[in-house]
Structure 1
Amino acid sequence: MEVSANTPAVVTGGASGLGAATVRALAAKGAKVAIFDMNEEKGEAIAAEVGGIFCKVNVTSEEDVDAGFAKAREAHGQERILVNCAGIGNAMKTASRVRDENGGLTGETKHFLLSAFDFVIQVNLVGTFRCIAKSAAGMLKLDPLSEDGDRGAIVNTASVAAEDGQMGQAAYSASKGGVVGMTLPIARDLMSEGIRVNTILPGIFETPLMNAAPQKVKDALAASVPFPKRLGMPEEYAKLAMTMIECGYFNGEDVRLDGAIRMAPR
């Protein structure tokens, strides 16, 4: 599906990082982009920069997502493109021993809080599916763009942690593994409707979260990438997202974008 002037698009998590780069890539082709995010200041700024609109949306909220799509469609029409970049992470071992302030064992134990586990699943997995389902239902009403019957394209964001998660990433890996696992079934659900679904598994990228890390930590992470020995750039994610959107034969795929890294246990 060619992205051209006034093509309606929605990007969740579009106020920063991978999402913001994708917003800019879509807008550069003339797309009218709606940014779903919780950060009003950044979201409004990027929307003004690209001539799009900002919708304050928490993807765990049915009401927020419905209101976001309604606002986006009123402004731009039914979206033909959805890119899901909204996501969070946390780190906690499944179970571990408690240590005192001096590092000694206390004899007590603790486990991953189930509420924290559930929150990551709700944002990364259920939130992604919620946006997919509601967007796809709207796309069904569109006329096909080509003789192939192409109506729309959906791109999701998983992580290399879906395949080689590290210590403390049980919740994050489970949520991203779920996104990978549902990609092909959803593509098959929508195959007769001309809606394609693909997922990107980014490695270690230069994002606002990573920018907060000390430089020596970033340097060590970059050195662990086989080639090129650096962190990924959000614009590289956006390039792959655009390929998935515009290449009509790209469907039902989960693609790592990671410089050939395979994550160590810790």
Structure 2
Amino acid sequence: MTNPAEIIPGILFYSYLSTVRKDKVAFMEHNTLVLQIAGHFSLQTASEQVSMGPGQMLLIQKNQLGELTKTPVDGQDYQTIVITLQEDMLRKIALEEQIELGQKYVGPQNILIPGNDYLRAFFQSIIPYVRHPDEKITHTMGVLKVKEAVHLLLHTMPELEEFLFDFSEPYKMDLERFMHSNFHYNIPVEKFARLTGRSLAGFKRDFQKIFGMAPRHWLQERRLAEARHLIETKHKKPSAIYLDLGFESLSHFSYSFKKKFGVAPTETRGDLESKKNTIQAL
């Protein structure tokens, strides 16, 4: 089976692998429910880190950036089931159940869900769809399984109502602080705008006022500055940091670094300092 497998398009996924995998950038666009079957899962965002092992369940809030690490344990393959709780489906449930919320959810963004017989039985009921993804009934049952998941979550933790049915737009947050915390994520400028609660035009306008340059230019400069810091002071190898800093390839990183600083990132700290002193003397 491919990894990850999309069992029901956009709704139900099954992840399986036998070696450690780290996804440098994950944009959680929808509320997401994750069941860990085997192995260890961790999520690192700018503000928190959460992890879980076999049998645990995690509810992840929408509109987050993070790094996912999936680790097999004790010789067993890593396995997890992921259900995305898309907003259009949650809106339908809110209408059916006459749920009305007037305020924005401000609690934890990632919540470990206590296990119970209902939720365990629910995930067991999904296994046949994982094993037979091509069956016609799999797609027919997708919507019903999502509704069932939502009702069971509310039965387990009624306070999740505010979490699940918050349809407000993101608050217009502190742009400078957000960008300094998340500059290393390789995502389109449009998503940075959305995550800070701005239109693309508003984001670019506010960005210019704060940083004095366009977003793409600032991101390149900020990432290269961080790369130089890591190479000079932490003695990191370029091959170990370029992905973490949002560069798509080592060759692109090396080219950009040399264009900015005049030396290749593989050169020594002394070479970098010498070049710096030469530039300052001119």
Give the TM-score normalised by the residue count of structure 1: 0.23
Give the TM-score normalised by the residue count of structure 2: 0.22
Q: Report the structure number with the largest CA radius of gyration.
A: 2
